[in-house]
Amino acid sequence: MTTYEGAAATAAPVDHGGARRGFALLGTVQATLIFTLASLAVPLPLIGAELGLDRGRLILLSAAYGLTFAGLLLLGGRLADRYGARRALTAGLLLFAAASALAPLTTGYGPLLGARFAQGAGAALVAPAAMGVLRALYPEPAAYGRAMGTWGGLSVLGATAGNLLAGVITAAVSWRASFAVPVAVAVAALLLAPRLLPATPPGTNRSTDLPGALLATAGIVLTSSGPVLVPLLTGLALLAGFARAERRAADPLLPPDFLRDRRRLLGLAAIALTAAGTATVFVLLSLDLQRERGWSALLTSAAFVPFAVALLGAGRLAGPLIGRYGPGRVTAAGLGTAGAGLALLAAGGGPAVPYAYGLLPGLLLLPAGGALSFAGAAVLATERVPADRAGLAGGVLNTAMELGPTVVFAALLTLGGSAAPLAAAAGLFAALTFLTFRLAK
């Protein structure tokens, strides 16, 4: 019997109605954070034409949200643990809503870029704080584990929705209208939070570990800046300096013992790799469909509809499967299934191969496996985390989700083409499947 199963067998029931409503609110917020990350990719050419931007400025505009989001997550987790998760959630939502409302009103590159940076900063406070409130909603370990089993799939659902809806919203209204989604969700969350979410007390008067926060932010931002060797190596060096500084700090931002748990490390690795595999497919396949097959942006978005259907279906099964077989086995099964999907996509490309049997099988297996992998890995990464480290756990989990795609994707792109990176990613999935099955029992 796994730790999760043992807890599930002895846990007391929770307030299901109130917890479900609170979870629905927090889950919608989490999915919207990732929706906002993905939604600007499709209309970038239109933005460039309207504002007269070159390729370099468009790349920075696309990356700005993710840079501050990923770079400030650990600090956001510390602030949530120190000042109280719901208070931090409210502050982050206010910043996120204000920046999202200002972005479509801008008429120049500078203000729009600043709004995207501010959006990411707000998201970096919201994401770990939401997981802190989630822990208060489900104080029993078994209930929290089941909730995390569902929570793990929300981010990939948000990314899928962003890619699917961006083309539709842009074609029907304008690229500026895509900012209405995060504004509406943030405002609704601010209004509903006092009624649906429990108050969370402030933690102890812990330091913010400003030196560690600066090193972590600079390292993550540079590492996330794209497949350019010098910034990538500089970022990795800063992250190494951050790890060394944390070992010496009296109250470290990321306590070294937090990452000594083998199951937690496997969970974080699975989250990073699954996010990377999904991002690789979205980018490479979207380019191939439009460049090699001549598909429109709207038709390309429609090609991922089966992906979304498979993701939703597998996501509904993830929680019961984790309860029955444990998060380790479900994570391993998900990684193996997703890796098989990547292998099929690598073998089934080319403009002469029909979509129905060249790409569709892989576009069903990848999200089905990804949903299981995310769900099981989220439980592995957060089980046995004490309540006063819930914000830290949220920051680390979301950092793996944001940083993993950048590092892995940059490495895979050096292989060139599209089939080779997908085949290499499938190999990484196979290796991690074996490790997870062996070590996370």
119 has pLDDT over 90: yes
Confidence of residue 244 (pLDDT cuts 50, 70, 90): confident
Each residue of 249-273: pLDDT tens digit?
Answer: 777 878 878 888 889 999 999 998 8
Residue that has been written with the tokens 């307030």 in this structure: 15
Mean pLDDT of 425-435: 82
- Assess contact for 296 and 437: CB atoms under 8 A: no
What's the rounded mean pLDDT across residues 77-96?
93
373 vs 9, more confident: 373
User: Which residue would you say has higher pLDDT here, 116 or 70?
Assistant: 116
Amino acid 15: pLDDT: 53
Q: What is the mean pLDDT of residues 212-233?
A: 69
Of 302, 285, 264, 310, give the one whose Cα is nearest residue 417.
285
Helices and strands (H, E) in the chain, number of each type: 20, 0
Determine the pLDDT at residue 12.
36
pLDDT of 206 above 70? no
Give the torsion sign (CA, 87, 90, 94, 96).
positive
What is the largest distance, in Å, between two alpha-carbon atoms of the chain?
63
Question: 70 versus 124: which is more confidently predicted?
Answer: 124
In contact, 133 and 89? CB cutoff 8 Å: yes
Is the pLDDT at 414 greater than 70? The verdict is no
Answer whether residue 432 shows pLDDT above 70: yes
pLDDT tens digits for 369-389? 999 999 999 999 988 888 788
| 155 secondary structure, DSSP code | H
- 212, part of any domain: no
**What is the rounded average pLDDT of the residues 207-217?**
73
Q: Give the pLDDT of residue 170.
A: 80
Query: Does residue 352 have a pLDDT over 90?
Result: no
Residue 149: which region, alpha, beta or left (left: phi > 0; alpha: psi -120 to 50)?
alpha
* Percent residues over pLDDT 90 in the chain: 31
Quote the percentage of the chain above a pLDDT of 70. 86
State the chain's mean pLDDT as an integer.
82
Report the distance separating Cα 381 and Cα 148, nearest Å: 10
Output the six-digit token pair for 295. 């598909």
Bigger pLDDT: 59 or 339? Answer: 339
Answer whether residue 7 is part of any domain: no
CB count within 10 Å of CB 87 equals 18
The band of 429, judged by pLDDT with boundaries at 50, 70 and 90, is confident
CA 329 to chain centre: 22
Could you tell me if residue 229 is inside a domain? Answer: no
Q: Decide if 138 is inside a domain.
A: yes
Which CATH number characterizes residue 324's domain?
1.20.1250.20
Taking each helix axis as running N to C, give the angle between helix 210-223 and helix 73-83, from 0 to 180 degrees, rounded to the nearest 10. Answer: 150
Domain that holds residue 332: 16-197+253-439
Residue 224 lies in a domain: no
Residue 299 lies in a domain: yes
The domain total for the chain is 1
Residue 11 lies in a domain: no
8 A C-beta contact, residue 300 and residue 286: yes
Q: Which of 37-51, 135-149, 239-253 has the highest mean pLDDT?
A: 135-149
Distance CA 92, CA 13 (A): 31
Q: How far is CA 69 from CA 190, 219, 395, in A?
A: 20, 13, 10
For residue 313, give Cα distances in angstroms to 225, 272, 367, 372: 34, 22, 9, 10
202 part of a folded domain: no
CB-CB contact of 23 with 106 (8 Å): no
Instruction: Provide mean pLDDT across the span 24-30.
Output: 94
Does position 341 have pLDDT exceeding 60, yes or no?
A: yes
